[in-house]
Amino acid sequence: MSGDVDGKIAIITGAAGGIGREIAKLFDEKGILLSLADVDRGGLERLSLELSGSPLIVECDVTDRESVSGLIERTVSEMGGLDILVSNAGVIRPELFEDASYENIDLQVGVNLMGAVHVTREAIPAMKQRGGGHIVMIVSLAGLIPETRAAVYTTTKFGLRGLGLTLNLELRNRNIMVSNVFPDSVATPMLEYEAKHGGSPLTFLGEPLKTEAVAAAVWKAIEKKKIEVYVPHSMGILSKIASLFPALIPLLWPLLEKAGERRMRKKGIGTDIVS
């Protein structure tokens, strides 16, 4: 895809959430035409009022293949094609794996991993018709290193990284670029949910990122044609280094968790979940 994005057509899933909203606003500033997807139609409608353009609003459940197929079909038929996909929809249900309900397991795998599989699989033919495109996966640093009390979430994010890296190889001859973006903890309603429902202390080691930082990383991935972008960059590098020495993880993680617990107490974050 060329560097000129004015008039390009983009789908953003999970657009009503904190990160999705910020990506939509940035894309709108860049002149990108938007197809916004989420299960929260009211959130999409409120977001549309903040944009200069008139986005297509599609209530879509990414776990449902028919719903995803309808999203792609409407985008192509009503907007004229598809150039950019930001696969952003995601959920977390913090708990020890041994205590995890199958309902929570299915939800996280369905939204985080299979949702990305569905929307990406359906988007590729539309991008091929346009002669190329760019797919951006919003992963997480949990796609590089384990996150305690989030084994299922971590599993889905490791899977997303594998999907993105493999597709970047497979789709090169189709002129379709695939980028993975790895944010650290972000100040969103999902992070607030983690704080109130037993999230990993690792998540609260530092100040959470602003959603604007993640949107900027998505733009960097598209503009610079980056395979992977870490937010912040330093944490991504440290995470990759840690992943090279898995034997150190059982030694280091308890120390990091204790540091996270101390910060949670100091900040009054989810004090009911740390004893």
State the Cα–Cα distance between residues 206 and 249, nearest whole angstrom. Answer: 19
DSSP 185: -
DSSP 207: P
Tokens standing for 137?
Answer: 């996966």
102 classed as catalytic: no
**Cβ atoms of 90 and 111 closer than 8 Å:** yes
State the Cα–Cα distance between residues 245 and 259, nearest whole angstrom. Answer: 21
Among the listed residues 102, 153, 193, 230, the single catalytic one is: 153
**Cβ atoms of 133 and 32 closer than 8 Å:** no
Residue ranges with strand state E in the chain:
9-13, 33-38, 56-59, 84-87, 133-138, 176-183, 228-231
Alpha carbon of residue 132 to chain centroid: 22
Alpha carbon of residue 216 to chain centroid: 13
DSSP 247: G
Active centre residues (catalytic):
153
